Structure 1
Amino acid sequence: MRLGIDLGRATCVAVLLDHDGRTVADAVVDSRPGTAESVRGVLAELGPVASAAESVALVTDLARRPPRPERVALLRIAPTSHPALAPLADWPARARAAVDALTAVVPGGAMLTGRPPSPLNRAAAAAFAQRAEEAEISTFAVCAAGAPAEPGPELDAAAVLADTVPGAAISLSHELGSVGLRERENATVVNAALGGWAAELAAEAARALRSAGLTAPLFFARDDGGLISAEYFRRHPVIATVPATTYAALGAAARAGVADAVVVDAGARSVRCLSVVDGTPERSVRPGPGPLGVPMQLGSPAIHEVGPGVHHTYPEDPRDMAHVTARQLERLAGAVLLHTGGGAESVGAPPAAADARARLTDAARFAATSVCRIEFEQLVAAAGRAEFEQRLATARDRALSRVVAAGAAPDTARIESVSHASVAYLPAGVHRVTVRAVGRPTAGVAV
């Protein structure tokens, strides 16, 4: 059996499914101030049957449990640039102050065309690590030019930082972000800053499960609808900060038995809209504000939000959201309008007493059915078809390794999709390759 838990601001919901996807039990309780208290409360409401769970998937947004960002030391490996392109230059002032990053730029990096990278100035990297240690910073972000094509400089820098500052937490940009240097660097710094938040959240959730007698592996919902293990979440929290609406929308579409839908998610303090196309959440195609309001591009779902924001209750007048949904329905021929969340009727959903509990449990139910998913993006430079196929096979292998590292059972890991396209602004032979790998979450021994 698999257990999904949706930890929200107002309610904490749990759904236990059997191996055929049928609901065995569900529970809805008021959320409590702490993560562990909320999880323990909903498990107590679910009863002894919860101990039969072989895996547990937790859904929660960053805004539901606001973080305390850690100080970060950012090492950029790239040629000197204009001050307007300096590290963190495009960050909101509030985010820059919260992270209070120490930064340095050392020459080096690789070309996106695959040309061999310049050797890392190891002495400069070590000197920066010493400065960080003196400033009592042990959390690092490393971003090298050309890393999506050649991650070697970042790996070399990570080795130097680890030798200089034993026990350092190091985030590498080639494991996270997009091709663009600025957005990739931003995502890496935010990832590093959220490490403490992720570790605390994972520890509290695990503690609550143990106190309830569950020893099943713990997974976290990522923003695109896949799962990652608790350990992977600790290392890569930036990909799992806004999954709640995605899971609620996908759960609502699954409940309605449709592949294309425009879903309105009415929560305790905000109203959001997300389109589901062919069973997957529609993604943002342009860089936009991510965690802490920092610009980045991680392929996150394209969520539309109306009202004054999460710090206020949403407007009683549903017309603002109606305008949003009307535009989405006009754009997506054949999509149906669905509602989910505890406040659905307050934003124009037709009264449906029979569906009220289903709307509350959509996200948790979908979490209990989800698979581990990893998307691996790389720039590949190849002189001919044979070399390109070899590089493509290597990308597939890396994606499979990553999805297993993210918690997928090795015997279930498989490639879900492979896409590639030549990069118009680079010389012939350079391709952007995206590989998506999936696998069933590793099951543990139920107690």
Structure 2
Amino acid sequence: SGSSDPYCLVKVDDEVVARTATVWQSLDPFWGEEYTLRLTPGFRGLSIYVLDEDTIGQDDVIGKVWLSHQRMAAEPRGIEGWFSLAPVRPDEEVQGEIHLELRVSQQGHPRVLRCHLLGASPRPLPLCPPTCQVEFCLDAIGSEPTEGWFQLLPFPSASRDHGVQLGALRLALRLQEDTVLPAHCYQPLVQLLTEPVLSPAEPPAGSVLAILEEVASGESRQDVATKLVKIFLGQGLAVPLLDYLTTRELARTTDPNTLFRSNSLASKTVEQFLKAVGLPYLREVLRPVVTRIFEEKKYVELDPGRMELSRGRRVSLRGSPSAAQVRDSSLELLKGYLGAIVEAIVGSVGKCPLPVRVVFKQLRRRAEERFPSAQHEEVRYFCISGFLFLRFFAPAVLTPKLFGLWEEHAGPRTG
């Protein structure tokens, strides 16, 4: 048909652990979804299957990418790149385990192997029914029953696809294997991190937080910020942490137009704090408007080069609407949607979590102290709006699926 409705299944060993949204009518899909999976130490590998969703009948399997535990563990900084899709052969897919009771008769000739099926633990993919085999050592089975779970194994297949291009999948993965110690073991580290926040009068140049600001690279800043937010939230010190970091960045800034525009540790920490504390608030504010946009399915397009005139809102006996009519109706709809979003945000002051309001109140005060002149009067406002709108609400409006506002990604029309 020249198009597809692809989605991905993420499978660890024999268990499906995640499913992406379906991207409708696309041969070049973008998901942008992020998953954090808690894995058992002995897992064998990770598989990502790409499937084409069918409204009638079974979904078609396009291909898969498989990464072994060893390969991911060998790249502690993570793996990122394009991975070619391999064909999926049902007879080579391991589908779970079966619970057997085995006994070999010691009397008579030939000896007889008796198998009693007690249970099964299949975790099937939407594939054609496979044929599997079980291997066990006969020497270990005697006249007394031997009971256990046996892994289903694929039959060897001689068939291979030569020269078939199934496409590629761009992935970014990182396997993080941590050893978690008792809580008291981390107290010296927590004390070291919180010391500059609890004693702000002391020179901060040599503090751990100041050193982290200097040494954290661009690619690691988000991880550092996420961990700092979790630690300081646990200690009840998240608000003082943000005051400490934003005050230091204000002191370094000479041009207010560049304030908090970079992905500094202060900017990333405020961003992660908003996600950790304010996500329920964001969903309450934006979900009604986002739901309305998805359910109305109105056609909006301002770019004349991309307009589909036959899908415009105003259709009369004279035929399809002109580009100007589509533009005008789209502009009217867009203003309505954006107005509803702004009204929802402005009217949500009372719903905004108290810690967020305290953070922005002290940020405004710090900005006034740093840039007190009348020509910089607006700094106190746009340093807050930059976080609240550009880093918090705007990404959720653009990708509502990733913020839990809608179950699916926006299709070509809604997007």
Q: TM-score range by the shorter chain?
A: under 0.3
- Which of 1 and 2 has greater Rg? 2
TM-score of the pair, normalised by structure 2: 0.24
TM-score of the pair, normalised by structure 1: 0.22
Relative contact order (C-alpha < 8 Å, sep 6+): which is higher?
1
